[in-house]
Amino acid sequence: MKGPKSFSHLFPPVAVTKTPNLDDPSGNAGRLANGGVDYVIELEFPADKKSRNTVEPRVLQSLSTLKDKLSQSGLQYQVKPGRTPGQVLILVVCPLPTLQEEFRRQRVRDFLLGIQVSGDRDSIASQDCRNLTDAERLRIVHDILTGSSSEGGAGISPSVDPYVKSIFPLHDDQFDKEWIRTWSKKWLIDTDDLTNIRNHFGEKIAFYFAFLQNYFLWLSVPTGLGVFVYLAGLRTLTVWYSVAMLVWSVTFIEMWKRKERELAITWDVHNCSKYEKRRLEFKGDKVVPDQVTGEEMPYTPAWKIFFRRALSVPGVAIGAVLLSIIVACVFVLQLFLHEYYEGPMRQVLHYAPTIGYVLLIPTMANIYSKWMRVLNNWEMHKTETSWEYFYTQKIFIANFLIAYLSLFFIAWVYIPFGDHVLPYLTDLNIKHSHTKVDFARLRAQLVYFIVTGQVIGFATEMILPYAMKKLMPKAKKMLHREDGTEVEKRDENEEASSSEARIMKKIHREVALPDYNIYTDYVEMVIQYGYVSMFSSVWPLAAFCCMLNNWIELRGDAVKICKYTRRPTPLRAEGIGAWVVNMETLTWLSSITMASFAYLFHPSTNIHSPYTPIFSLLAILLAEHLYVVTRAVVRAALNFLPSWSDIVLRKNEFSLKKMWLDRLMQGGKETRSLPDDGDYFDASARALWNGRGGVDEFDRATQLVKDAFKTD
């Protein structure tokens, strides 16, 4: 494997004393059950007769490039036909020597950056890559696949290589089945469950479930308070209730930051953000030596990157304004039909805005998301961390407008000024029965968003994929009966053994699944947090409904990942990223909203008084200062309390450095040589890879492309 010189020569080799258990479900058992396949590269191209002369040479050239990249990076591969014409699948496996070299290089890099903080002698000393968890192995192989050639990687990416549609790992069916079975019987998720997710799916997915579980438990506080207030018939639009919710929101955010740090240290990913993997899409204007490492790196002047990001702001603003106009139009139509309209077909038109909201708003939000992705790619982000941060903020803007714009309009525009609309309706001869605009309209809208939104979300995430999974194969079979027969015959001829046939059937099934989108799950939870923090004083049962939903969401997301999406690529993460910043923004806004609600909707407030805006602003200003003071007090209190994570971090860093210094002074032992790949594969894997995975696979790929363009 070609790449930069390893730093391993700086440290003495060590002996491996632990023999890995290959039957361990957290290690290699899942990979072996998948025939040893680490990743599947999906290629897709138009295979119609008209485009053959132009497309076929390009596809063959792309395949030749992929062959060279995979071979130079030390990966083995073989080519298989897809289920549809114009689809080619490249099955990739990482041999032990290649994995071992990359593994050692990454461990040394992590040590130099202070990422590995575990002080256990065996965990630091072990250099046997077979001890890796499933997630660690797949992450390393993914780094080889997608890493730049300067770092020894293959440099393969759907955004760089033509006709490469996706790269994904395969599900471990046994783990998925056990995960769903275990969680379906448990009321609460414990640390061991999160560790299992981390070992299988990586830290990025594990942090999402850790956040969801932590948020679920913290919701018990506003749930208990809200249920008590609701059953006791007490008013929630009071200063004491608003202050209580503000303190809860601030405390939850600060406690989650503390929990996030503890998990990062426990999972050995503390400081992992120090290593910034360069995006393959970032080509730069020229190549210059890196100021620190001396490696040749693409370079673009900072002013050009800043200029592009500044120019993208109007693009984001235009998208946000258009989305706001659509949301406002749907809401105004809903308001008119529900509150004022008394004409013909009122009962039918009553549901029109709801149907329009369900069908139109998600479609427009999806278009907005694609537009934001285009802008984000144009901004020339050097690293994945930077790209994800800015994309997260853009997505949050859209969902913020969809979720809260109509509620703000009702509270701050419609209720104070809605009565002024009635004379205009009379002048236009529009029949209406509306007489008074009051606080009940805001509560009804909030209940609609929380309850109806959660029902719709569950239907789109769970019921719709289940129905599509059952109906789509039958529909495809009816539409392409002849093509399906040909594919089945081709599979029967090409797949030599029952084990290989089973593996290929599984691969074809997972190729048809969509990618898992973690952004949608985070958005759902963060927006829900905004409902609880900003609008609990409007409806005290908001937290209760959200807590009930999240208990189901924890298990529903597990089923969704296992059954209805492809397996996500394991990635390291130090936390939940920019979503913490977004929740802090919502917490600050909650101080504004609840203060304004407590004053505007108090029985003693004359909402039409000319002094009301002034006193409302004073209440908001006071609440903002209260938020700042509360946050400072909570942070000071948490800093005063001892944190085991800080102690563990300092202790392990000291032990780690002392251990390496002792070894440098005393010398080390020789590293045990690794066995060959024959001991690394089971029978089913050998059936798939025996005699395969060489340069001859390019000839097979060429024949598959030519067969795709053949006429009947």
Contacts of 67 (CB under 8 A, 6+ apart): 77, 695, 697, 698, 701
Domain map (residue ranges) of the chain = 34-170, 179-277+383-475+516-650
Rounded distance between C-alpha atoms, residue 527 and residue 400, angstroms: 7
**Whole-prediction pTM:** 0.85
**Whose structure tokens read 């599984």?**
506
pLDDT value at position 569?
94
648: left (phi over 0), alpha (psi -120 to 50) or beta: alpha
pLDDT value at position 478?
67
- Positions in the chain short of pLDDT 50: 1-26, 117, 119-125, 482-496, 669-672, 712
Rounded distance between C-alpha atoms, residue 367 and residue 2, angstroms: 41
**Helix (H, G, I), strand (E, B), or coil: what is residue 230?**
helix
Alpha helices (H) along 495-643: 498-511, 518-535, 542-559, 579-600, 612-640
* Listed residue (710, 708, 533, 712) closest to 84, CA to CA: 708
Maximum distance among all alpha carbons in the chain? Answer: 96
Q: For 685, phi and psi rounded to 5 degrees?
A: -70, -40
Helix pair angle (644-666, 239-266), 10° resolution: 10
**Could you tell me where the beta strands, DSSP code E, fall in 403-464?**
none
Is the distance from CB of 594 to CB of 531 less than 8 angstroms? no
DSSP structural state of residue 540: T
Residues 314-340 have pLDDT tens digits of 988 998 898 888 888 888 888 777 777
pLDDT value at position 680?
56
Residues 120-141 have pLDDT tens digits of 444 444 566 777 889 999 999 9
Contacts of 112 (CB under 8 A, 6+ apart): 7
Q: Are strands 286-289 and 164-168 parallel, antiparallel or unpaired?
A: unpaired
Rounded distance between C-alpha atoms, residue 546 and residue 216, angstroms: 8
DSSP 448-501: IIIIIHHHHHHIIIIIHHHHHHHHHHHHHHHHTHHHHHHHHHHHHHH--SHHHH
For the record, the structure tokens of 466 come out as 């289940």
